[in-house]
Chains A and B, each alone.
With several copies, the nearest count.
Chain A
Amino acid sequence: MAKIIAGVATSHIPAVGAALDLGKTEEPYWQPVFKGYEKAKEWFKETKPDAIILIYNDHASAFSLEMIPTFAIGCADQFAPADEGWGPRPVPVVHGYPELAWHIAQSTILDEFDMTIINKMDVDHGLTVPLSLMFGQPTEWPCKVIPLAVNVVQYPPPTGNRCYNLGKAIQRAVESFESNERIVIMGTGGMSHQLQGPRAGFINSAFDKAFLDGLTQDPDALAKISHLTYVQEAGSEGIELVMWLIMRGALNQDLKEVHRHYHVPASNTAVGHIILENV
């Protein structure tokens, strides 16, 4: 049976992708952002997972207003980087894992999650920036990636509780997949930030730190945070943190926090990153 061995969360800021792609990582502004990801790079080299389940949100790239899925799992062989208005990022095509992706789709649907199955999709910075942070600039990504997109653009997004429970269903699905593979689940987006209107630039470090603490200490409490609280306390785009709850739900009760990184700012956003290993 396959196993989820760890969860990794990180912000997925487009400007971070641009800084990487344009070779600015050593600039004083960016240096402290990227320094916090050195550990993750080493950790992935040692851990060598067979695949990553990458929870992210599409930012009006693959999904327009014509059709807005709440949860969409990518079952295709590959996913090309999206053109978000300045040409696609110069990163490798993402190779999927159709066998496991379909297995998770089937298992979660029978578990009464109403998934949308996707067989053709481009992936935007929400998915590719976390890969760049974990793996730098390789010519191929080192492992298969299953994209799982969560609607946080059109209100209402799924509740935190629903996300947390989807994570649990994903863990059950992976553990019923016949293989000995070791899987990492990633939750992306956040932490506190607001990109819109006169309140843009909103940051709440206290909220973010409590959220990072809660991942190990009391995830059930995190799952109860309302949409309103996210927007009030973490900014309108802080709502993306519900995606971290899917990652958390897919992990064991007992975890070891291996690494944590928090820095303000990257562009408009508080950068948060954590590595949690199942014990």
Chain B
Amino acid sequence: MENYYDAFKKIPGTVIFDATQSRLGYHLNMFAMSLMKNENRQAFKADEVAYLNRFPMSPVQHQAVLDRDYNKMIGLGGNIYFLAKIGATDGHSFQKLASLMTGMPEDDYRNMMIQGGRNPTMPIGPVEK
């Protein structure tokens, strides 16, 4: 699999959810998916630490969830489609999550999108105004 995945690593700001990431993030992602049930969302909101302790994830994963640090969660094996359930539980839109991950204020991110999005010639991360 080395040849297939190596080329993806050169794409900036992008993590491919391959076997390595999937194994690393298994419990983090299964935690996130558990938030599809309302009773679990309520339990998580009532006591985040207690709820997270139900899932055998690593301390850094645990902390990244508490911090809502999505880039860190992705680095630690989180997949955006699973993590989106955390955002939904917080009442955040996908666009809000995207702005967080780019480090851009939400209005700036929204304006970048209205102007046609991050086109292939633009650098990654916050876009200069």
Contacts and interface: CB of A to CB of B under 8 A. Distances in A.
Interface residues of B, number: 61
A264 B38 contact: no
Interface of B: 1-2, 4-5, 7-8, 11-19, 22-23, 26, 29-30, 32-33, 35-38, 41, 70-71, 74, 79-82, 84-89, 91, 93-95, 97-99, 101-103, 109, 112-114, 116-120, 124-125
Contact of A61 (B30, B36, B120): B36
Nearest to A64: B33
**Residue of B8, B37, B74 contacting most chain A CB atoms (<10 Å):** B8
Nearest to B104: A201
A216 to B, nearest CB: 24
A11 B49 CA distance: 37
Contact of A153 (B1, B79, B98): B79
Contacts of A237: 80
B116 A60 contact: no
A189 to B, nearest CB: 12
Interface in A180-210: 192-205
Contact of B84 (A59, A102, A103, A233): A59
A60 B117 contact: no
A116 interface: no
* Pairs A-B, 9 closest by C-beta atoms: A85-B88, A203-B117, A199-B13, A198-B13, A102-B19, A200-B98, A265-B113, A85-B85, A60-B81
Contacts of B119: 202-205
A155 B17 contact: yes
**Residue of A15, A84, A86 contacting most chain B CB atoms (<10 Å):** A86
Contacts of B87: 85
Nearest to B71: A197
A118 interface: no
Interface residues of A, number: 55
Given A102-B23, A197-B14, A205-B116, A82 B36 contact: yes
A72 to B, nearest CB: 16
16 contacts: A15-B93, A64-B29, A65-B30, A84-B36, A107-B1, A110-B4, A178-B2, A195-B84, A196-B15, A196-B80, A197-B101, A198-B101, A199-B124, A201-B112, A205-B116, A228-B8
Given A65-B22, A106-B4, A268-B94, A201 B102 contact: yes
B64 to A, nearest CB: 14
Contacts of A86: 88-89, 91
A205 to B, nearest CB: 7
A203 B1 CA distance: 28
B124 A198 contact: yes
